[in-house]
Structures are given as structure tokens and as C-alpha cells.
Structure 1
Amino acid sequence: MSVAVTKKAIEKLINGYESDPFALLGMHETSAGLEVRAFLPDAVAVSVIDRKNGRKVATLERKHPSGFFCGAIPRRKRRFSYCLDVTWENAQGVVDDPYQFGILLQEMDIWFLAQGHHSRPYQCLGAHPAKLGDIDGITFAVWAPNAKSVSVVGDFSFWDERRFPMRLRRESGIWELFLPQAHLGDCYKYSILDANGERRLKADPYAFETQIRPETASIINTLPPIKPMPLSRQQANQRNAPISIYEVHLGSWRRHTDDQSWLSYRELAEQLIPYVKEMGFTHIELLPINEHPFDGSWGYQPLGLYSPTRRFGSPMDFRDFIEVAHQAEINVILDWVPGHFPEDDYGLRNFDGTSLYEYADRREGFHPDWNTLIYNYGRNEVLNYLSGNLLYWHEHFALDGFRFDAVASMLYRDYSRKEGEWIPNKHGGRENLEAIDFIRHTNKLLGTTCPATVTIAEESTDFPGVTLPPDDGGLGFNYKWNMGWMHDTLAYMQRDPIYRKFHHNQMTFGMLYAYNENFVLPLSHDEFVHGKGSLIGRMVGDDWQKFANLRAYLGFMWAYPGKKLLFMGCEFAQWREWNHDSSLDWHLLEEPNNPHQGVQHFVRDLNLSYQANAPLYECDFEREGFEWLTVDDHDNSVFAFCRKDAQGNEIIIISNFTPVVHHNYVVGVNKAGTYQEILNSDSEFYNGSNVGNLGEIETTASAFNGKPHSLSLSLPPLATLYLRLKD
């Protein structure tokens, strides 16, 4: 609806208090005919040009010294497409008037956004190249329902908040504007006059690219085209597939040796991907690559949830990195942080002067552990923002899976809080019902839209049904990190072998709940920071024993039911605790035939043996896939078990966690024949003492431990053996 051109109306506009700039600016039908109004600060003269024939049809008169122009168009009654011929003090040019265009967001999109059912909100909100008629430009849309006015500012406006005020769609709280003056690559933000009358400069929550810190502007970029997921990558994520994950922080895996600067996405594609392939890992898991302001958060305090970090290159460089991984038949998992976000002023905090994205009450909306804010999971628009993000990364960057960070902190309202510091749910309980609904909704959305994509929960409690489908009352994750197994087994390995017999159950207890969920066994980055030391540093004994312990432990882990995850540097036993500010200690591998190389070779052969033998992975989540052969030999700290595939083929695993060689050690087995020693962590090839069974061993007819046949073995010190029946 048009408003009269009064001094009060003009000053309301130029001072940034107008929520409907289209009521004043653009072309209007008046009793005197058509009238064009424009706000062009610093303009000297303005004329209206008919785009159809290129003719000048009117000269606008300056109505306000700030640059407000207005003029009637004689003998014209119907609206038409026009542009403005503007003379500046030192230049002249033709510009398109952004206030001649109609509404942008369609009613159906607005309805879905408001209901929380818009699977792909990033297609509507944010900045998008568009063509209206024959005019190219950028559409901007941002949700800020409690703002008094919003304008888009950027390179195209000289960062002048007066120039391009946006239209409020009152039914949704979304502000929109089509801007022919904006182009790909321009930096921009939203200037928001918030609910309290304060001016805020905010980055775009849906920006596809964001400046690297300390700069904070959003960058106009295109939405990458959708990439389908090939069948081979779908199969690689399945529960009956071998999944061995290499967890990587891109900024510290390797750096340039001369100045310790980061490798680019392209350089990482050239160096990291072949290394992962050679080492036999099937998946890479990336610590969060969403743009984040603080390097020391490792990406776990993201603000650019839709922006790949520019620390290593452009968004398309990142997509190319993923493509190189896929060409090498390696799936890529992204660490994803839906549990919290930082309080930086340019981000989501108090976005329109109100707690828009976060809970308003700090007892619900603040994380005491990380000094960050918590998303309001009960708000439909926040649900869209978070759930749609997974589809964005999967469809447009072809990511194969997502590991949800800190799920336990989302599930419980009293997480890390004392009595009186949290608010119970509506039933008086401690569960965050809104977060639970959000997780179920998101997993169901991803499972129905792209079912081969996996989600993994870092969930440290015994919350029931984490990997059950939502329709069965579960949270809907495909896999869950087995934090209990990790803590128990690491605690065991840190004990002197003399005392391990008193803690035998730390290695066996996990089988009591191994089939409660679909587990991933994680040795993740969290275990090698903040003074916890490195993985090799957690082993006991002299240096030889430390390396032997580590190889034996990894051999046990790779045979134990569950998918595998190993943090970078652990595969070659880096002594030093992980430091995100420097490269891994690759120099440890320079001297030939050293124990670091031995561990590296062993991890590679573990992965290759793992993939080559279906009993080690095919029935990870079925009780029939595992059987103890020796479970109670506390005194010798020996464990023996059998892994089976769906056809009944078996791999025998024996671990000796003492530095004592056991000759003629008897293990009962189900099948008679010749067993090949397919892996021995004590092999001299891995810098072990080379005790073994000369490659193969025959069963005897003597029954043992309830099994009809038995093997009499030489068990190496601090070692794990893999045996396979010969044909």
C-alpha cells in the first residue's frame, strides 16, 4: 500500500525505521498518475528510463537533501519495467530499482517454513542469484520476526545501512529483497534495527560462504548442484560392511614445512586421500569444517553452519576434495554440531533483539561447559535451520554421513548443571523433550530422503534406543560411539601387566551390552588432548613394551564387534599429545625400520585383513557373530574369541596382554583343520620379537573348554594373533 511522500515518511525511511520500504519507494499509482520514488544517497540527478524502448520518461526531483527523489510520469497509467539513469558527483550510470519488484517468497514456502516442515530452507532463505524478468540480481531473505527494520548492506551499498531496506513478510517474520546491484563474491550482512531499538550487524545464518576470522561478513555464492550418491558408497555405509574410520583435523594433519601454514583443500586431496587409501581406511571423519571464529574450538563452535571454512580454500575446493575421496572409494563423514553455538555478536545470539535461535532462559539456553548457547529445539524455524543443514551437506557436497557431537548434552536438561541451575520438562523430568523430538525428526528426514546416509551419535550415557528407528521409539541413529568400551579398555591398557589379572573384566564387560546398540569403537581426538597424553603415551612399560601393548590393543579392537574409528597420529604412535596448531610428527617415520613405522604398517595390515575377512565385520550387530573361546584366564591375561560371518566362516583371535611368552597354550575351537596365522602383532615386520607359530598350526582332536577341537599355540608377549582356517 502506497504512503504519502511526506518529510516524516522520508525521514522514517532514511533513519532505518521503515518496515515496508516498498510502500514509499518504487513505482506507485497516484491520483495524478504514475510516480517513481527512489532513495539514492550522493546522487546529483535521477531520470527514469523505460526498459522496453530505452527512452527517458521522467526526471525525478530531489525531495530531501539525503538523496530522496520523486517524480511523476506524464501520460502513463500502467506500471512498466524501468531503470534509473543516475548522475553522481564524479560518475554516471544506469541502475535497476530494487523496489519495482513484487514479493519473492512463495506462500507454500512460507507455510512450510512456519510449520517446521521445510526440508530445504536454504533454497529460500539466504542470498541466491536470481533473474526476475530479464534482470539479474541476488535475492536476500532473512528471518527476524521481532526486528523493527532490516536492510541488507555490503560491498554493493558501501556498507550504508540506509540504502537497501528490506520488505517484511508479516505472516512469517521474514524480510526479503531482490537486489540487482549485488553480485557473486560480494560481502554482505544484515543491518537489523532490533526489538529494543538497537542496531545490529548480523552475518547471514544461511550464507554459503563466510569470511575467515577475524573478518565476519557473509559472501554471496551459488548453491552447488546436487550430486547423487552412487550405489558403491551407499553399500559402504551398511551395517554388514567393513567400516574403518580415520578421524582428521584438516588444519593439523600436515602443514607446510617452511612456514607451518595450512594445506589447502586441493593439497589435502593430493596428500591426505592417497594416504588414507594406502592405510586401508574406508572412511574419513572430518572434525567440523563449518566456518568458526576460534581456531582453538577445532570447529566445534560453528557460526557458519552452511559455510565450509575458507581456511583451506573455497567451497568448491572442499567439494572437489570430497570428490577425490569418492574416486578413491573412501566415504566422508562430517562432525556436526547441533548442540550449541558461540555468543559472538555477529552470529545468531539475540539475532533480532530477542532469543530467536536460543532458549531465552539461561538455565535452558547456556552451556556451562563451553560458554556457548543452546538452540531452541522447540521452535519450528530452528528445526528447519538445523535439519535442513544435513540435506544441504549431503545433497550439494555429497557427504556420506554425519557424527552428531555431544548428544548427551542435548538429551538432558541437567547436563553439567547443579540443582537449581536447570528447568525440568513439562512432566517434571530431566530429559529435553524438544531436543529428542528434533533428533528423531532429523534422523527420520535424512533416513527417508537419503536412506544410505548414516548418522552417528556421540552419546556418553545409557539413553535407551539411540540406534533404534524413531517409529520404534528410538532416536534413529545408525551408529553410536561405544564410550564405555573405550574408557574400560584404555583403563586396562594403562595398568601394569602384573595387575591386569585383577581387572580382567574391563576387557570382557563390553560384551554384556555389545548388542544393545549398533556401536562404533572410538579412539577419538577427545582422548588425546587437555593433558590426557597420546595413545602410545597411555601404554605402560618401557618403550618396547609400549609399542607392543599398542599393537596388541589395536589388534584386539579391530577384531572386537563394532565399527572402528582411529584419530590421526595414533596410526603411527605419535608420542606428543595432539596440538591443533601444528602438524603431526611425521618426522618420526623418517628413520627406517623404527617402531613408529611398525605400528603404521600394523594398522595398515589390520585394515586390509579386516576388509578381506567378512567374519570380522559382517555380523557386528548379531550375537551369532561372536563367541568367547577363552574368557576367564585372569592369571595369564589372555583372551580368545571367534568372529563369524553369515556363512559360518570363522576368524580366531587371541590376545596376550602380559610380556610373558606362553608356549603350548591351548585354545578350544569349533572346526578342525589347519589354521593360518594371518596377522601377528609381534611380527618382526612390526618391530616385534617375532614369536609365533611358523605361519600355520594344526588342530588336535582333544576337546577343550567345551569345543570339540583345540589348538596348541605359542602366544607372543603383549600381542594379538588372527587365525583363519585354511580353505
Structure 2
Amino acid sequence: MSDPFAVLGPHKNGRRWSVTALVPGAESVEVLDGKTGKREAVLHRLDGRGLFSGYVRKGVATGPYRLRAKSGDTTWEQEDAYRFAPVLGEMDEYLISEGAHLELWNSLGAHPMTHQGTKGVHFAVWAPSASRVSVVGEFNQWDGRRHVMRSRGTTGVWEIFVPALPDCSIYKYEIRDQAGNVLPLKADPVGFGAEHPPSTASVVRDLGDYAWSDNEWMATRAERNGHDQPISIYEVHLGSWKRKIEDGNRPLSYLEFASELVAYVRDMGFTHIELMPISEFPFDGSWGYQPIGLFAPTIRYGTPDEFRHFVNACHRAGLGVLLDWVPGHFPTDEHGLGQFDGTPLYEHADPREGFHQDWNTLIYNYGRREVQNFLVANALYWIKEFHLDGLRVDAVASMLYRDYSRNDGEWVPNEHGGRENLEAIAFLQRTNELVYKADAGVMMVAEESTSFPGVSKPTDQGGLGFGFKWNMGWMNDTLDYIGRDPIHRSHHHHQMTFGLTYAFSENFMLPISHDEVVHGKGSMLSKMPGDGFDKFACLRAYYGFMWGHPGKKLLFMGQEFAQGAEWNHDQSLDWHLLDHAWHSGMQGWVKALNNVYGETPTLYQTDCNASGFYWLEVDQSDLSVYAWVRQGKDGTDPVLVVCNFTPTPREGYRLGVPNEGRWDVLLNSNAEEFGGSGHGPASCDSEAIAWSGQSQSIGFDLPGNTAVFFRLRNGLA
């Protein structure tokens, strides 16, 4: 039945008014005057399904009447959901049909409201091929007969207002396909809350009006997120950053993160926190990368308002918040989006287009306007409703290519016979355009692992329109190099320099993410060759190379203090390691890198501009030494970065410098406070000795496995 309202509820029959009600299990039903509470009429039972009907006065039929039902010795009263008019209007219908409803979440989903003077919840869901849709839950004994929804014609949307239903009610949708078969109960695609896993129902959450107090941050974040600003990101998996061992080994809550995580990240000098996906997901082991509820912050750590409290606390502490966003695929769990209305609604019908072989997940049909609208609106939802400062879009490469991880014959070419997914490209471009139009101060970041052109170029220049792109090539090359025995590094010298041949072709971030410290890859510390002291020295030098290299920074939690074990999502980081000097020294080194990076415009102003970088020593493969200059926008305030990637000290090492004067040591990874030996250069006065193409040079002792930063005194020569 597509319109139960045509039968149920109040209706005018000639000159008389009637009320028809379906109350399964009732033996008798009466109509009560909603104003006086007096019995108005006794409805006649029409059949054994619980269908009752009878005549009432016009004033009752058009007013707030109630139903009183009886079965045996049990009597109950209830509102009649079928006396209420639709909530969605013509503009909603038009925008949904056009795939242009940019605030789709304000129309679909479950919304507590007062409608026609009565409090309740409005439900709306898109299921165009369904023959019947009902909202079910504990409030109606999970009985699909009790709240059958109204179809809104060609929109494919079904809606109903359920009176007297409170916030936090659990619910799902019972959907019948075109043949009338009842499908597995579905969670709400636009639900704002969910039950604790492994339960899978949606939960009514009132988004309401949160009392934000982050005005100062919101007014300045466009500047803070700019390409010429210091951006150092701490990537976090909330479930395993820190756990309460004394309380059943539970993870922290959003409210606890607002205190403990925010204070830690701020003290460490990071500028942003990036959260691995928190859109509701059923399986802990997916780390959130197989989401079911794109509009629901996971209940694992608290409610939507508690998540807002966390974001608000970040902003008040001067920290931005990015969210990993997964529009590339979704899981096949039966309560999710797959075959939502009995048809491949959100996904492609052809598995060559609609199934990810690597992850056993389904792929969105980006060419269907309603699906694209659903995803675009979701991106805007996180930005607008939760004040997020940007989205890091996961697995972009898998979206861009139709043959991604597929053999010949396992994929469908585009309309031109090519491998590019034109619909996905258009979707990404539209998403970036609309997000930046909604708020130019946010950042959209692509995890894109190929050399697809123009990922971070504006769409009007043919690009995808992202603000930044993860530099996966840099990450792979440098990690391969640093993991080698130093005796072999001279043969792979180019792996540390190759990234500079394309470093400014995109607006790059340098990521050492969770993917690099899991699945048998080991922790960052375990990747380092050698034993004990050499491992820590090598890792400190590598981080120095990273922070001195052009590009914004990202480091996964635990690597800042050299976690020894591979990351495990089921347990806390090994915070006890900070009792050991080498680990606490590593933490101090990362903090010092962040602080110097944030306080030295030379090191961030030209992260995305070739004018801010040039090599001093690029070919010393026999020494495994690299040296370069970072300079500010106007070519002033030069900083030298020198890295020695062998354990062999280079005593009396000479380096050409671009300016005459005294060069002070900004950072030395071998300093005792960072766990080093304490050896290294002090301030150096330049000498008129030509070296490496420079008229001036300095001589100093360069310890093994060490990164040193020098800054010209006064900085403006």
C-alpha cells in the first residue's frame, strides 16, 4: 500500500466524517475528543486484522482526537498517526527529485518535532522501488502493520509523523519489495544515531541547537587551514588511543577525549587532529572504513552532542578537526544500504562496477543523481552540523579507475572506452566545489595513491578540486630507504630525493598513517635497522627529514613516542614506554619539531611553492648525506636542513650556505634531551670558502643518524 492515508485516519464521506484505524490485537476501539477526553464514538470492527471504522463529528475528525483500545483486561490510549498531514513540502520533493537537496538530512531521517501542535518524530526514507515501507521499533512491537508510511510519488520518498514518540527511540524500516516480499529490516541511511554494536537499529537523536562556543576559531580557520600555514596533523583511532584499564579496558568517551586528547595534542604542538572514521560502522576490525550510518557519529564513544562537545573543545584549544570520510564503498551487512528496497539502489547492479573485490564491499552508483546527492549532502552535514574543519577522503584511487584492482574482463569501460570512472570524477568535483562554496575555510584532503593529474587543482582548471593530497609516493620511497641497512643506502640515494621532482605538482601532505604500522608492516621504530640507540637515532633523523621537507605533516598516534609494537585496534597505545628515556626523548623530539615548525614561517609558508626550496647537497650518495635550504615567501629567513643517514659521524663536514653570517642550531636530533649522545654542531660563522656552488660555507661535526636544522641569525639576510 503506497498511501495508507487514503484509507486510514479521518475522511469526509459526503456530509459526514469518519475515522478508520488499524489497531492489531484490539477487541474494541473508541475515539476520544482530544480536547475534553470524552468518548466521541465507538468504532466498528471491520475484520480480524484489527481494522475499525466509524462516524464522528467534524470537530473531532479535524481536531486532535485520540484512540482508546481494549483487549481483554488491558486498555490503552494512543495517538492516531494517520490524522496528521505530510511534513515534507513541494520544495523538498523538487530538490530530492533533482538530486539537488544540499541539506538532505533536514528532510530525510528521523526528526523530533512538534507537528500540528503535537510532539513526535517525523520519519522519511528514500526507497523508490518498494511496494510498502513501515517504520518499526519497540514503540509498535516491531509490527510493520502499525506505522505504514506514505509514498511521496515520483520522489521515491516515504514519510510518516509518529506522535508521542520520544527522543532516543530505536527504530528500523520494514520494506517490502515490488513483489511484496519483506526484506531484512534496514537501518536508516540518514539516521543520526545507532544502537551499540552488535545491535543494529537506528536511534532517534535530536540534533537541535548545540550551544557552540568556538566563534573565535570559526572566524579564523580559513587562515589556519591555508596552504601557507603550519599544518601538522595527529591521526587518531579513538578506540585505541587510550583505554581505561580499570574500567573493563574500555575506550575513552567523547567527553573524556575533549579533556585528555585535546590537552595532549595541544601540548605536543600539533595543529589538527584527524579522526579515523567515526560514521557508524558494525565491525570494529574495519576501523570505521566500512560504514553503515554515514550521518551517525558512532555511539561507541557517546552521543552526537557529546561529539560536538569534543569538536568544540578542540577549537577552543586552537586545534582543527578532520574526519576520515568514506564515500568509496560500503559493506554488505543486511541492515545496511545493499539492495535497500529490493533493488541495487545505492550500488551498481553489475558487480563489475558495483563490487570491490579487495574489500568485499559495494560501490556507490555515482551516476545516479539521488546517490550523488546523498553523499554530497553527507559531506556538507559534517561540516555544518559538527563544525568539522575538513574531510580526508579515503581510497580516492579506487574511485577514479574502473579497473582498480581488476583483471581484464572484470571491469566495464566508460562511455569513451577508457578506464577512468567519469561519474566518480564528477562526484568528487561537485563535492569539493559545494563544500568550499559552503565554507571556504575548510580543507578537503585526498588519499590518492596514483599520479592522477590535478587532484588538488581547482575544478575550473580541470582538477578534482581538493585542497591537499597525501603524498603516497614520498611515503613509499622514503620508508623503503630508511628501512634498509645503512651500508646499502648509498645505492638507493635517489629514493629520498625523487619526491622533490614532483613535490610542487600538487598541494601535498606527507603522511605516516595507520596503514604504515599495521598488517605485518611493524611500527616505525621496528622499521629502523640496527639495535637500540641506532634505531632511535635513525627514526629521529627520519622525522627531522620529514619536518624539514616541503609538505604538510601527518603522524599516526603512538609513532610520536616510538611505539615498539605494531598498532592493535583492540588495545591502548603503550603509554608505559614513556618511562624509558629513549621513548620520552622521541616524544620530546616530535614536540620540538612541531614547535619549531609552527614558529618558523620559513618551514611552512612555501610548503606548496617551489620558490621556497633548493638543494645544497643532493648527490652525496657515498655519505648518505642530504642538505637543502627552506626559505620564506620573499626568499628571506633561510633555514638549512642537514641529514646524515649512516651511523658514521662526519667530522668537519663542510656545507655551502646561501648567506654570510652566523648560523644557529635550531634543532639537533642527537641532543641528549631527545635521547641522543649530545654530540653535534654549535653556532657556526660562515667562512669565505666557496663550496657546493655557494660563496660561503660552514664547517661542523655532523653526528651519525642525525638531522640538524640551522637558521641564519636575525633571519633576514
TM-score (norm 2): 0.96
In structure 2, what is the equivalent of residue 294 of structure 1? 283
Distance 1:622 1:675 in 2: 24
Matched, 1:651 2:634: no
Residue in 1 aligned with 2:206? 222
Counterpart residue number, 1:665: 653
The structure-2 alpha-carbon separation of the partners of 1:489 and 1:31, relative to structure 1 and needing over 3 Å to count, comes to: same
Matched, 1:175 2:158: yes
Deviations 1:435-469 (A, max 9, x none): 00000000000010111111100000000000011
Are the counterparts in 2 of residues 29 and 77 from structure 1 also a CA contact under 8 Å? no
Q: In the alignment, residue 310 of structure 1 is paired with which amino acid? A: I
Match of residue 184, structure 1, among 124, 147, 167? 167
> Once structures 1 and 2 are overlaid, which stretch shifts more, 48-57 or 381-390?
48-57
Cα separation, 1, equivalents of 2:435 and 2:503: 26
Residue 409 (structure 1) aligned with residue 392 (structure 2): no
Aligned residues: 707
Q: Which residue does the alignment assign to 1:454?
A: 443
Is residue 2:592 matched to residue 1:605? yes
* Residue 442 (str. 1) matches residue 442 (str. 2): no
Deviates more, 1:76-85 or 1:355-364: 76-85
Do 1:195 and 1:354's aligned partners in 2 also have CA atoms closer than 8 Å? no
**1:431 matched to which residue of 2?**
420
In 2, the alpha carbon distance for the partners of 1:624 and 1:437 equals: 32
Separation of aligned partners in 2, 1:610 and 1:493: 22
Structure 2 letter corresponding to 1:119: L
The counterpart of 1:198, out of the listed 176, 181, 200, is 181
Partner residue of 1:238? 226
Q: 239-248 vs 43-52, which deviates more?
A: 43-52
After TM superposition, give the deviation of residue 31 of structure 1 in Å. Answer: 3.1
Equivalent residue letter for 2:9:
G
Gap change, CA 1:90 and 1:185, over 3 Å in 2? farther
What residue ranges of structure 1 are gaps of 5+ in the alignment? 1-17
- Cα shift readout 1:638-680 (whole Å, capped 9, x = no counterpart): 1111111124211111111111111221111111111110100
Answer yes or no: is the 8 Å Cα contact 2:70–2:76 preserved in 1.
yes
Select 1:335's aligned residue among 320, 324, 332.
Answer: 324
2:108 alignment partner AA: L
Compute the displacement of 1:73 (Å): 2.3
Contact 2:222 2:441 in 1 (8 A): yes
The one of 59, 74, 82 equivalent to 2:42 is 59
Give the CA deviation at 1:484: 0.3
State which drifts further: 438-447 or 93-102: 93-102
1:714 and 2:701 equivalent?
A: yes
Higher mean C-alpha deviation, range 453-462 or range 23-32: 23-32
Partner of 2:82: 99
Closer, same or farther in 2 for the Cα pair 1:527/1:224, shift >3 Å? Answer: farther
What is the CA distance between 1:231 and its match in structure 2? 2.2
Stretch moving more, 461-470 or 176-185: 176-185
- Are residue 144 (structure 1) and residue 127 (structure 2) matched? yes
What does residue 10 of structure 1 align with?
none
How far apart are the structure 1 equivalents of 2:686 and 2:21? 93
Judging changes above 3 Å, is the alpha-carbon distance between structure 1 residues 363 and 47 closer, same or farther for their aligned structure 2 residues?
Answer: same
Change (3 A) 1:127 1:492: same
**How much does 1:53 deviate?**
5.1
2:32 to 35, 49, 53: 49
In the TM superposition, what whole-angstrom CA distance separates every residue of 1:25-63 from its partner, at most 9, and x where no partner exists? 011111361111001122233222333555433221111
Separation in 2, partners of 1:545, 1:341? 43
Offset of 1:77 from its aligned partner?
11
1:150 and 1:191 in contact (8 A); partners too: yes
1:129 matched to 2:129? The reply is: no
Deviation at 1:584, TM superposition (A): 0.9
Matched residue type, 2:709? Y
Measure, in 1, the Cα distance between the counterparts of 2:300 and 2:609.
43
What fraction of aligned residue pairs are identical, expressed as a percent? Answer: 51
3-state DSSP of counterpart to 1:601: helix
**Residue deviations 1:463-516, cap 9 Å, x none?**
000001111111010000000000111111011111211111111111110111
Q: What secondary structure is seen at the aligned counterpart in 1 of 2:244?
A: coil
CA shift for structure 1 position 703: 2.1
Following TM superposition, by how much is the alpha carbon of 1:196 offset from its aligned partner in structure 2, in angstroms? Answer: 3.7
Q: Give the secondary structure class of the aligned counterpart of 2:250.
A: coil
Instruction: Say which SS state the counterpart of residue 618 (structure 2) adopts.
Output: strand
**Pairing 1:595–2:582 present:** yes
Which residue in the other structure is 2:685 paired with?
A: 698
TM-score (ref. length: structure 1): 0.95
For residues 217 and 346 of structure 1, the distance between their equivalents in structure 2, rounded to whole angstroms, comes to: 8
Q: Does 1:636 align with 2:623?
A: yes
1:210 equivalent to 2:197? Answer no
**What CA distance in whole angstroms lies between the structure 2 residues aligned with 1:562 and 1:352?**
46
The answer on whether the counterparts of 2:34 and 2:60 sit within 8 Å (CA) in structure 1 is no
How much has 1:88 moved relative to structure 2? 4.5
- Counterpart in the other structure of 1:8: none
Q: In the alignment, what sits opposite 2:550?
A: 561
- List per-residue Cα deviations over 1:263-304 (Å, max 9, x = no partner): 212222222111111111111111001111111000000001
Deviation at 1:218, TM superposition (A): 0.4
What letter is aligned with 1:191? E
Mapped pair 1:684 → 2:668 = no
Q: Is the 8 A contact 1:469 1:475 kept in 2?
A: yes
Q: Is the 8 A contact 2:234 2:554 kept in 1?
A: yes
Inter-CA distance 238–224: structure 2 relative to 1 (3 Å threshold) = farther
CA contact (8 A) 2:254 2:302 kept: yes
Q: Could you give the per-residue CA deviations for residues 318-353 of structure 1, whole angstroms, max 9, x where no partner exists? A: 111111111111111100100000000011000000
Summarize the Cα distance change of 1:141–1:57 in structure 2 as closer, same or farther, 3 Å threshold.
Answer: same
1:252-263 to structure 2, matched below 5 A, reads: 252-258=240-246, 259-263=248-252
Alignment partner of 2:54 out of 64, 67, 71: 71
Amino acid at match of 1:272: L
Query: How far apart are 1:391 and its partner, in Å?
Result: 1.4
CA contact (8 A) 2:353 2:412 kept: yes
Report the secondary structure of 2:628's partner residue: strand
TM-aligned CA deviation for residue 377 of structure 1: 0.6
Q: Distance in 2 between matches of 1:712 and 1:159?
A: 79
| Cα offset, 1:92, TM superposition | 3.7
- Name the aligned partner's letter for residue 249 of structure 1: H
Contact 2:130–2:176 (8 Å) recurs in 1: yes
**CA distance, structure 1, for counterparts of residue 656 and residue 179 of structure 2:** 76
Change (3 A) 1:89 1:322: farther
Q: Is the 8 A contact 1:224 1:396 kept in 2?
A: no
Which residue is 1:326 aligned to?
315
1:14 is aligned to none
Flag structure 2 segments of 5+ consecutive residues without an equivalent. Answer: none
Report the CA distance shift for 1:464/1:65 in structure 2 as closer, same or farther (over 3 A): same
- Are the equivalent residues in 1 in contact too, given 2:617–2:625 (CA < 8 A)? yes
Distance, in Å, in 1 between the alignment partners of 2:283 and 2:202 is 17
Of residues 96, 104, 126, the one that matches 1:113 is: 96
* Secondary structure of the corresponding residue to residue 46 of structure 2: strand
Q: How does 1:536-575 map to 2 (within 5 A)?
A: 536-575=525-564
